[in-house]
Structure 1
Amino acid sequence: MGWVSRIRGARRDDRELGDGVWRRAHDRFTRGLDRFHQVLEGINDDDLYNALVMIANHLADLEPRVRAVCAGAHRQRPSAGTDIPGSHADVHRALSKAANDLAAAAQAAAMARLDGERWGYNSAGLENVAFRADLVVDGVRAAEQSLARLG
């Protein structure tokens, strides 16, 4: 039954996001979310785990917004290749920055995990993870605003 759901999901993605730059922007963001959540696996310190889970959940809440931006951009300027539609370059740039910042947040979470294991919760560097997560939110907001200006 799982493979049927995957096929339906892939078809829905093809229909809503196409197979060009908007699909890749969305997929890149979801891969960043997956990486962030993978960092959480195996954290033994409950306080650190709970703090990172809160940030991870906040970032996961952005995924529908990213999907909506990518789907909206695909409706306005469909893409089947690697060329970024010139009129929507700001949208793509903001999505790319958000995905990049998400990867940096996942990396910061991994470092926080290591520091927390070595030195304890107070030295885990959660402020850096939260700061990078805020940058992701800013990037998604910028993408939404850029798309709204065009629409």
Structure 2
Amino acid sequence: MAEMAYKGARTNPSVASNHVRKYRYVEGNTCLREREDGSCAKYNEVRETDYTDAYISGVINSDRVSNVFVNGRPVACTGDSVTETESYSLGGWKLDYSDEGGTGHITGGSSTVYVNGRQVATAGSSVTTHARTTTTIAEGSSNVHIN
């Protein structure tokens, strides 16, 4: 039997491959200023762009059911939103673009238990992140279990 999910429960981390754009400047091959001896004093800079993975973490916002609670917390159901944040490593590069997180949604739940016509979510239910990756709900109530 699965643990019933609730508002505030965490999702398992998810990896969005190549989700964050980063850049750096490297020395190019065109001399901009020569020294008196003919050697180059300053080369042009070339901007390089690359991508890195984002690690997405989330917390459930049980925002659509206000009349059913599990241990004093609103129950989580399919369609409920998940507030997500991203972390990433730039490895000496500079950040060019990251959406810094977003809103995912619970996409899976119990096939037998419904609240207000919606499937109840449990620990292990699927979540689609704002970056279109898939993860699961990491935790639920330790003393309320459903099939």
* Fold match (TM-score > 0.5): no
TM-score by length of 2: 0.28
Structure with more strand by fraction: 2
What's the TM-score, normalizing by structure 1? 0.27
